[in-house]
A and B are shown apart, each in its own frame.
Chain A
Amino acid sequence: MSAPAVENQAAVAPRRTQGGLLDPKQLWRSTPDALRKLNPYTLWRNPVMFIVEVGSVFTTVLAIAHSTVFSWLITVWLWLTVIFANLAEAVAEGRGKAQAAALRRAKTDTMARRLLDWRPDAREPREELVPGPQLRQGDHVVVEAGQVIPGDGDVVEGIASVDESAITGESAPVIRESGGDRSAVTGGTKVLSDRIVVEITQKPGESFIDRMIALVEGANRQKTPNEIALNILLAALTFVFLLAVATLQPLAIFSKGVQAFAPNTQALDSHGITGIVLVSLVVCLIPTTIGALLSAIGIAGLDRLVQRNVLALSGRAVEAAGDVDTLLLDKTGTITLGNRQASEFIPVDAVPARELADAAQLSSLADQTPEGRSVVVFAKTEYGLRERSPGELQHAQWVPFTAQTRMSGVDLSEEGGGSNRQLRKGAATAVAEWVRSQGGTVPDQIGDIVDGISAVGGTPLVVGETVAGTARVLGVIHLKDVVKQGMRQRFDEMRRMGIRTVMITGDNPLTARAIAEEAGVDDFLAEARPEDKLALIKKEQEGGKLVAMTGDGTNDAPALAQADVGVAMNTGTSAAKEAGNMVDLDSDPTKLIEIVEIGKQLLITRGALTTFSIANDIAKYFAIIPAMFAAIYPGLDTLNIMRLHSPTSAILSAVIFNAIIIVLLIPLALRGVRYRPSSASGLLRRNLWIFGLGGIVAPFAGIKIIDLIIQFIPGIA
């Protein structure tokens, strides 16, 4: 046998949330979409960019009326500013579109074999063929090997292996069966073997795939609460800068009138500041950088989840994930590996440890349960005992584990029917009984060891043997829950992020405490029933906390619905998937941690680019104010600390910088600001340095560099 259970150990390698890189070709491919988005009817929903577009139209008219190199260059770059903003959104949407196309291919309308008057015990229900889209909730359909499941539902009869690669991208088939927590099937997936009856749970046209397509395409993407709030702030800033520039005109006319000797420039003449420069000033001051990238950041955030095979049914849920205070995690499969594993061999009565290991291995070879496999693996890794296959031992009679005997083992006989050796491994009471029945005695020591293991939450298995009619106990195998590697580190990170982790388990409090301590979770809920879970969530929420959890079973559904972030496993029941606000197609409960990180990253990216955008204004003032007014008040040239070449080159440089910075930041908007779990203060300090100070300094350098280049353009110098 190969495939040791150890390969699960690497389950939680720390994977940081990063996105793909920006492909330049993607920019080019998205350009037609970006141009289509110039339509003012769609653009007005982004007030910042709408103002830029209106300004661009205005300067175009002015440039046509009064054609100069300067006015045309400004006009072109203002249009580019709008197009770059649209490009950011188009690129972000483009990624989703590719995914949607793949999903659409899976959504072939099939004919469904609807069963009339199906009942659980019905022998031969009548069958009729109807087109898939005509199925209603509550209909029953039969699907057999090779057929495509016509709609979302739960298996109510039978068991089948299903190819779900169309939605999960995972090629290995999965088992779907009636009754359990693995009953949900998705329309568009294919049954590979056997026959199942599915009860349809979807409404027509609202299948899981339909919703996925809508989601990844961002068709009815709604703004999230924070996005709405940020939009309000940006609109307010836009308004105030618009006002500052509009009211500047009478002041400028007055000032120019007073200093009548000053020459007219392309920025200021006796009619005041020229329209081109007024528009340039507005566009430079209003928060175009964040305005341009805001929707791309949101789309890319959802997309990052999709890339991790998580479907967020609302953007609101992604945002809430960043705010989570309490994380409820199921013990089994999330914190610990799915099954208990051998962790120690404890020999008794001077039995050599190696002998116990050998006996344990032999007695477990025929035990195909994960626990049995783990004994073999442990004997190999700890004692270097080569794994023997049942076939290489001749004259061996294997005794499989049964619920009645609660033991497994092997009867070995030497060639020719010589000395007999019997090995048994199993529950303490069962093996003790067996040893006594063979005439042996059970040392008192065993009772202490067994109690000791139980006390720390482990499961004791006793190994006994009979050689030539003498029965004795060799020792005890300590089976315990094995905490996945790296969990403690992740929980420490969570704690630094201010998130409390609570382990949910059906174990008794003693066992639960032992595992909770080993894994490093903050708290645990032992002997938990579904209603306890729900009560815990409600209690946390009453204290003002946001709770996230994962779940798969039907009885998890109320808790999933109650949680602020409920991640349903795709393998779970339809009820669970309906109740949660996210579905994990990989059915990996640890992914909750990544979801939280993506949520935080989304918010951080918005905040960081807002800070950057506002901080940029300082440098732009230093470029544009002297350019406008140094002609009438030469003293103001002191503010031209970048020593820009000329007023026109200064204004044009600021406008160009303002446009180019959008394109330069598209990759950051799509990828998200790098996030490492740390305290709030640490994050703020880091981001303030990079985006606050960087936002002040970068444009000084950027505008100067652009100015150095464009001063050679004839008509600008």
Chain B
Amino acid sequence: MSDLTAGILFIVSMFVVLALVYVPLGDYMYRVVNRERHLRVERGIYKLIGVNPSGEQSWRAYARSVLAFSLISLLFLYLFQRVQNGLWLSLGFPAVAPDLSWNTAVSFVANTNWQAYSGESTMGHLVQMAGLAVQNFVSAAVGISVAMALIRGFSRKLTDQLGNFWVDLVRITLWILLPIAFISAIVLIAGGVVQNLSAGTDVQTIAGSTQHVTGGPVASQEAIKELGTNGGGFYNANSAHPFENPASWTNWLEVFLILLIPFSLPRTFGRMVGSNKQGYALLSAMAIMAIASVVLVNAFQGIHHGTVPMAVGAATEGTESRLGVYNSATFASATTLTSTGAVNSFHDSYTALGGAIPLASMMLGEVAPGGVGSGLYGILILAIITVFVAGLMVGRSPEYLGKKIGAREVKLASLYILTTPTLVLFGTGLAMALGGERASMLNTGAHGLSEVLYAFTSGANNNGSAFAGLSANTVWYNTAIGLAMLLGRFLPIVFVLGLAGSLARQKLVPESDGTLRTYQPLFVGMLVGVTLIVVLLTYLPALALGPLAEGVH
């Protein structure tokens, strides 16, 4: 089997399996979130944290809970790193520097997992397990919870109740993330991913030198790293490291885990709003953009006019030869389409346009299919904007799923859409204006510009993947990208919850023949069009001076 055939098989089998699990997983998540009864173990947890599970929350209370929980997580994770040298299993590493601790704490709490550090030489096992991995679970659960609150805004009427954040958080963590992550971790261990508390061993290499090989609780972190669209690797090399991703089939499994929940959530959404067709519509829009991205990255990596790529048949630079060019390209696409940011190859070394597509995939706003939860609420926001313009064109005050899209809804959706581009462009512009910060670039010229643009795009979109090349562990970048991640995560969440509150208060407008059909292909096409034009056009001037300047001949 040629590399190309294998690559195509990889993609096709991926989409087939995702299609097969769409209904069962989506329905399962629906049942978990909407179950009336509280299980005993859940009630135990509620008692422990002092929450009344039957009390529902208004959007403000829900938002306060999300922010309070995240703030506490942030402070805890910051302090954890700052004192790790005094803790068990620190492997003798010193306390993490304040700016790096801040950056890493924000990064994991914001479900970004941007890593300005090298895992195996910075963090002890305890911080990895009890700090970072825990955030991998709960930050993912926060994203899904917020998406659920938004869906309730659509499905409920004349109420200010959006559910209970603590109930959502507990259930999503316990019954969705934990079981799948647990099983996946076992499978990964079977595939060769390490899982131990070893401080590492020194081995003699073939060349005769000594190498320190670090072990650790890798598999348990690896599974949730992909499943929760987190992306923070145990090792600096992330999924290119043989202990994280030993074989072709574990590579497939990791990509599958990355796409699993984001692609199944539209089903949960469809069930909750009482129309599976609406779920299929969002799924289609996500899938169209995702397939386009996957095909383009593969194409640009496979067809390149450079001397070496011509000679070997594809652009191999920066890819792990165990995994191959195409399976790396697909991984790159999947990790940037979702807000995962795990990497199994180095996007910096991709061809100019091959690297531009992962960048553009993030710039879409992480909606195709996006991070767990965040992808769904992201595309719902874009659907609201699309409905607004399309709704006017059918001669009615725009409405989506029976809710009127009025001034307040448009305002909140606009604020959401403005947040990320503002952070990305402002951050990039500032970095390029400061001579000192430009020095962090590995390359100069257009490629160096791409590195900086990529860093801020990744941070503000809560992706976390690095273009590599940029030395981001400086006080300035740690602070700036930390801010981009923090604001890029929590401002949109507040806008989404505000929107949910505003939608839930409305009555439900019944559908008539004059109502825009938001489940028809026409609307799906327009949603994709609006996403590409409104979101991507914002970045085109910057892209022109980065990857396009390099890549267009």
Binding site for B on A (CB under 8 A): 225-226, 228-230, 232-233, 235-237, 239-241, 243-255, 258-259, 281, 285, 319-320, 322-323, 325, 495-500, 543-545, 599-601, 603-604, 606-608, 610-611, 614-615, 617-618, 621, 625, 629, 632-633, 635-636, 638-639, 675, 679-681, 683-685, 687-688, 691-692
Q: Is B49 interfacial (CB 8 A cutoff)? A: no
**Contact partner of B389 among A245, A320, A611, CB < 8 A?**
A611
Q: What sequence of 0s and 1s flags, for each residue 47-88 of chain B, a beta carbon within 8 Å of any chain A beta carbon?
A: 000000000000000000000000000000000000000000
A254 and B549 form a contact (CB under 8 A) = no
Query: Which residue from chain B places its CB closest to the CB of A244 in the assembled complex?
Result: B538
Q: Which 7 A-B pairs have the closest CB atoms?
A: A498-B514, A607-B392, A600-B395, A247-B429, A236-B414, A498-B512, A498-B513
For the complex, what is the distance from the CA of A94 to the CA of B30, rounded to whole Å?
58
A625 and B540 form a contact (CB under 8 A) = yes
A636 and B533 form a contact (CB under 8 A) = no
A232 and B549 form a contact (CB under 8 A) = no
Q: Is B199 interfacial (CB 8 A cutoff)? A: no
CB distance from A599 to the nearest CB of B (A): 8
Query: Which residue from chain B places its CB closest to the CB of A495 in the assembled complex?
Result: B513
B522 and A258 form a contact (CB under 8 A) = no
Given A322-B397, A325-B512: A636 and B549 interface contact (C-beta under 8 Å): yes
Query: Which residue from chain A places its CB closest to the CB of B526 in the assembled complex?
Result: A688
CB distance from B92 to the nearest CB of A (A): 42
For the complex, what is the distance from the CA of A322 to the CA of B397, rounded to whole Å?
8
Q: Is B407 interfacial (CB 8 A cutoff)? A: yes
Interface residues of B in 514-553 (CB under 8 A from A): 514-517, 520, 522-523, 526, 529, 533-534, 537-542, 544-545, 548-553
A255 and B549 form a contact (CB under 8 A) = yes
Interface residues of B in 375-399 (CB under 8 A from A): 385, 388-398
Q: Is B16 interfacial (CB 8 A cutoff)? A: no
CB distance from B200 to the nearest CB of A (A): 42
**Contact partner of A607 among B393, B430, B517, B537, CB < 8 A?**
B393
Q: Is B405 interfacial (CB 8 A cutoff)? A: yes
**Contact partner of B438 among A244, A249, A254, A691, CB < 8 A?**
A254
CB distance from A210 to the nearest CB of B (A): 30
Given A606-B392, A617-B533, A684-B394: A243 and B425 interface contact (C-beta under 8 Å): yes
Given A232-B411, A611-B393: A633 and B446 interface contact (C-beta under 8 Å): yes
CB distance from A275 to the nearest CB of B (A): 16
A684 and B516 form a contact (CB under 8 A) = yes
CB distance from B258 to the nearest CB of A (A): 29
B520 and A681 form a contact (CB under 8 A) = yes
Which residues of A lie under 8 Å from residue B430 when comparing CB positions? 250
**Contact partner of B418 among A230, A240, A633, A681, CB < 8 A?**
A240
Beyond known contacts A240-B417, A247-B428, A325-B512: 15 more, CB 8 A cutoff: A235-B414, A236-B418, A247-B542, A255-B549, A281-B541, A320-B397, A499-B514, A600-B396, A621-B537, A625-B544, A629-B545, A679-B514, A680-B517, A684-B394, A691-B393
Given A229-B405, A237-B534: A251 and B429 interface contact (C-beta under 8 Å): yes
Which residues of A lie under 8 Å from residue B537 when comparing CB positions? 285, 617-618, 621
B411 and A615 form a contact (CB under 8 A) = no
B514 and A497 form a contact (CB under 8 A) = yes
Query: Which residue from chain B places its CB closest to the CB of A599 in the assembled complex?
Result: B395
**Contact partner of B407 among A228, A322, A632, CB < 8 A?**
A228
For the complex, what is the distance from the CA of A491 to the CA of B517, rounded to whole Å?
22
Which residues of A lie under 8 Å from residue B407 when comparing CB positions? 225, 228-229, 232
A251 and B432 form a contact (CB under 8 A) = yes
For the complex, what is the distance from the CA of A692 to the CA of B529, rounded to whole Å?
10
Given A249-B429, A251-B449, A685-B522: A679 and B513 interface contact (C-beta under 8 Å): yes
Q: Is B468 interfacial (CB 8 A cutoff)? A: no
Interface residues of B in 409-429 (CB under 8 A from A): 409-411, 414-415, 417-418, 421-422, 425-426, 428-429
Count how many chain B residues have C-beta atoms less than 8 Å from C-beta atoms of the other chain. 68
Which residues of B lie under 8 Å from residue A685 when comparing CB positions? 522
Q: Is B212 interfacial (CB 8 A cutoff)? A: no
**Contact partner of A229 among B410, B449, B545, B551, CB < 8 A?**
B410
11 A–B contacts from the bound complex (CB under 8 Å): A225-B406, A236-B417, A240-B421, A254-B438, A255-B446, A258-B444, A499-B514, A544-B508, A618-B533, A635-B550, A636-B544
Q: What sequence of 0s and 1s flags, for each residue 475-512 of chain B, a beta carbon within 8 Å of any chain A beta carbon?
A: 00000000000000000000000000000000111101
B418 and A258 form a contact (CB under 8 A) = no
Query: Which residue from chain A places its CB closest to the CB of B157 in the assembled complex?
Result: A544
Which residues of A lie under 8 Å from residue B507 when comparing CB positions? 544
**Contact partner of A232 among B397, B410, B422, CB < 8 A?**
B410
Given A230-B392, A254-B432, A323-B396: A638 and B508 interface contact (C-beta under 8 Å): no
Which residues of B lie under 8 Å from residue A240 when comparing CB positions? 417-418, 421-422, 538
A639 and B552 form a contact (CB under 8 A) = yes
For the complex, what is the distance from the CA of A493 to the CA of B161, rounded to whole Å?
40
**Contact partner of B522 among A239, A241, A319, A684, CB < 8 A?**
A684
A244 and B390 form a contact (CB under 8 A) = no
CB distance from A248 to the nearest CB of B (A): 5
Given A229-B406, A230-B392, A614-B534: A500 and B512 interface contact (C-beta under 8 Å): yes
Q: Is B445 interfacial (CB 8 A cutoff)? A: yes
Q: Is B39 interfacial (CB 8 A cutoff)? A: no
B394 and A259 form a contact (CB under 8 A) = no
CB distance from A493 to the nearest CB of B (A): 11
**Contact partner of A244 among B397, B514, B542, CB < 8 A?**
B542
Interface residues of B in 169-213 (CB under 8 A from A): none
Q: What sequence of 0s and 1s flags, for each residue 136-176 of chain B, a beta carbon within 8 Å of any chain A beta carbon?
A: 00000000000000000000000000000000000000000
For the complex, what is the distance from the CA of A615 to the CA of B405, rounded to whole Å?
22
A233 and B393 form a contact (CB under 8 A) = no
Query: Which residue from chain B places its CB closest to the CB of A679 in the assembled complex?
Result: B513
Given A233-B410, A543-B510: A683 and B552 interface contact (C-beta under 8 Å): no
Best-buried of B398, B529, B537 by chain A (most CB within 10 Å): B537
Query: Which residue from chain B places its CB closest to the CB of A639 in the assembled complex?
Result: B552
For the complex, what is the distance from the CA of A561 to the CA of B492, rounded to whole Å?
41
**Contact partner of A629 among B432, B512, B523, B544, CB < 8 A?**
B544
Which residues of A lie under 8 Å from residue B411 when comparing CB positions? 229, 232
B539 and A684 form a contact (CB under 8 A) = no
Which residues of A lie under 8 Å from residue B522 when comparing CB positions? 681, 684-685, 688
Given A254-B438, A684-B394: A248 and B541 interface contact (C-beta under 8 Å): yes
Given A229-B410, A243-B425, A681-B520: A259 and B392 interface contact (C-beta under 8 Å): no
Query: Which residue from chain B places its CB closest to the CB of A632 in the assembled complex?
Result: B549
Which residues of A lie under 8 Å from residue B544 when comparing CB positions? 625, 629, 636, 639
